[in-house]
Structure 1
Amino acid sequence: MSVADKRMLIVDADIASRIEENRGDMSYSEFLNFLIDSQLKEPASSNNYVDKDEFQHFATGMKELLRNFLEFFLSYGLELGKQPQDKTFDELSQKLQELGSSGNKSKKL
């Protein structure tokens, strides 16, 4: 690099000392270039949101998880020999069927 390609940068003394403390084996120019590049570089996946497919995949997974929990608790209660005595069992069975059918519909789409 020729003298014509160099410029003088005036910074506060505390900033100059922080540069000196942290630059290691790099020159001032290399260190400042590294800092600028690292601050201006876009992260590879800076999405702070989910797209439609990711959300549908999540929703399908949650429905499947809920269906598995319901199925487990219903079958666990039946294996213990407990007979359903109120409408709760019927409601849970119906909910299990609804979750099962909604899971199948989304898989076909």
Structure 2
Amino acid sequence: MAEKRMLIMPADIIKKIDENRGDLSQAEFISFLMENQLKANGNEKQAASREEILTLIDGQLKEAAKTQRYATREEIQVFEQDIKVLLKSCLDFFVSYGLELGKHSPQEEFTELSSKLSELENHLNSEGESKEARIKWK
């Protein structure tokens, strides 16, 4: 059991406690008030600390943005090299794609494909029951 002690307080404070404590005992009410006050002070300190940290971070970001406004020579050279590599790979792709197209005429492929599709359609129309299609690719 908790140890009990006597607390001497002014009569007007005891009167305020009795008026506002409701169903709580005087000790419970005083304990409740103390806990709430301590929590409120802790939250205010945490909020102030959080605001200070955010202010510091924001200030550092603004300072960094002012000092690093331009790219360095090395960054520009690396960027230039990367762009050259990208352009070379695009050029290689389009050249190889163009050579691939030059091997076979697209018109020949189109006519061959359309003839196969028409044969398939005729085959399906003639055999109404099976509805099975077979295409032989090169």
TM-score, length of structure 1 as denominator length: 0.42
Higher helix share: 2
Give the alignment's TM-score, normalised by structure 2: 0.34
| Greater RCO structure (CA 8 Å; 6+ sep) | 1
